Amino acid sequence: MSPRTLVVGSRGSRLAHRQTEIALESLGSAQPETTFEVRTIRTAGDRTKASLSEIGGRGVFVIELERALLSGEIDIAVHSLKDLPAEETLGLAIAAVMLRQDPRDVLVSRRGAKLDALAHGAIVGTGSPRRAAQLSAMRPDIRIADIRGNVDTRITKVQTHEYDAVVLASAGLASLALGANLLAVAQEKLGTRNQPGGPIQEFAKGLAVNRSRHQIGGEACAKGMK
């Protein structure tokens, strides 16, 4: 096969670029004759400071990347799997899913405070409705506040006392090699509990066996034309 260059679309954050690098390392190993050109594309979700609940809509972090794919501006787009809408876009397909990293969330707080040790009324930042619901169930007395910005920005907001803690993805911290280097803050990993042998566990097991494209199996995925 003759050498070729593929244009790869990525969001502009440091985490997005690192996830793209990880994906391209795997693609490069499988296709050593291929070179890659990374093109940064700013999405609607990146351009606004409004909360995700206010933005609403479908795939606010992927629409521009999908348009670039469909127009031929890029050949591949790399996304966090959580950002993709449940429904496929006509003409596009999920071409590959990376092996999953640590699926847990991380509570990043000052002075080593764990979730159960946070003060009554402590302000915990997250932009995720799922995380907000879980935090409220575990600590109904704390205040859940919306937060935007990249990983570094969110950690800084804890260090400067704007928030008492924030919840981030463990996999994202690992990708940026931040897990062991958080100064003046501490981490606590948070997992989701379910009953052993219950419906959630059986559902996840079935996905893994069937190797469905919906399987719980990746932190980053590559999307391309069908």
Give the DSSP letter string of the chain.
Answer: ---EEEEEEE-SSHHHHHHHHHHHHHHHHH-TTEEEEEEE---HHHH--S-HHHH-SS-TTTHHHHHHHHHTS-SEEEEEGGGS-SSPPTTEEEEEEPPP----EEEEEETT--GGGSPTT-EEE-S-HHHHHHHHHH-TTSEEE---S-HHHHHHHHHTTS-SEEEEEHHHHHHTT-TT---SEEEEEE-----TTSHHHHHHHHHHHHT-TTSS--SEEEEEE-
What is the greatest pairwise CA distance in the chain?
A: 63
* 46, 83, 102, 146: the active-site residue: 83
83 is catalytic: yes
Active site residues: 83
